[in-house]
Amino acid sequence: MPLGSERSSSPFRLYRAAVEGSVEYAGPGVCAFCRTATDGRLALGVGAYVIYRCTMCEQSFAAGAAGHDRRVKTCPRCGTAEDGYRLGDDPATCYPCLRSGRAALTKDTEFGMVTWSDAVQGRTHGVPELTRTQPGFSLADPHPDGWVAVNIPPFVLLELVRTPTYRTYQGEEWLFCCATTMLYGGRWTKSDFVHHAPADPEAVLIEVFEGAQPWMWNQVPDDPQYDTGWGFYAFRCELCNRIRGHFDMT
């Protein structure tokens, strides 16, 4: 069963809340890649990458979107020079161009940061001293500095970096279940808890949001317009329907 807050249709499979509420949402305008005028675009700012594909050897490689210029980009495999995109001021991508992989948006997850290059290599950037992960994933050998990456298939992580980022106070933390990414269902208000468990909505807080305490119920907003300074971010697993979440505060 979908989450109460979940949208049945979304341009992004993993992002089931209103894309207008995402960190990158930039409103209507022209896509930096396909030059199509569109109703909704996503800003290519810090943490965004432009993805090039070598015309000679077809190797894909990334260049940071911030401060991006037309200077020639060199294929790291064969050295072929490619013209840089002219992205313009305040560049933004349409949804189809992001989905098709012309850009990538860095994400933070419960197993560490994922840039485009991490995604292609099939691992997260890692977490210090991580000792266990979930069934279906394995830990990489620890780096000398103690950071431990989690091995996750490239196709799973590439879809994640081709998804908008949800807005939080302290930073997103995308969750996983059943060896894949969970679907982001939005910020929960009290009615979402009630929808999920009418008999005992307060128990859901403890069950779903790791580390939550019973007194935090008073911090759950009554409706999306009411800002308590606390955010409760909910995810659903498409495979087993499990719901998990995390919370933060200003």
Residues of this chain that interact with Zn ion (CB under 5 A) are 31, 33-34, 54, 56-57, 59, 75, 77-78, 80, 94, 97, 177-178, 237, 239-240, 242
Hey, how many other C-beta atoms are within 10 angstroms of the C-beta on 9?
5
The residues pairing with 124 across neighbouring beta strands, listed in sequence order, are none
When the beta carbons of 120 and 178 are compared against Zn ion, the nearer one is: 178
When the beta carbons of 6 and 125 are compared against Zn ion, the nearer one is: 6
Task: Give, in degrees to the nearest 5, the angle at Cα 42 between 38 and 43.
Answer: 120
CB of 78 to Zn ion, least distance (A): 3
CB of 26 to Zn ion, least distance (A): 12
When the beta carbons of 100 and 228 are compared against Zn ion, the nearer one is: 100
**CA–CA separation, 113 and 124 (whole Å):** 6
When the beta carbons of 2 and 128 are compared against Zn ion, the nearer one is: 2
DSSP assignments along 86-127, one per residue: ---SS-EEEHHHHHTTSEEE-EEETTEEE-HHHHHHTB---E
CB of 102 to Zn ion, least distance (A): 7
Strand 48-53: give its sheet, edge to edge: 60-64, 48-53, 103-105
CB of 140 to Zn ion, least distance (A): 22
When the beta carbons of 116 and 125 are compared against Zn ion, the nearer one is: 116
Quick one: CA torsion of 100, 43, 93, 54, rounded to 10 degrees? -60
When the beta carbons of 40 and 224 are compared against Zn ion, the nearer one is: 40
**CA–CA separation, 60 and 2 (whole Å):** 36
**CA–CA separation, 61 and 166 (whole Å):** 25
- Strand 37-43 to 25-30 pairing: antiparallel
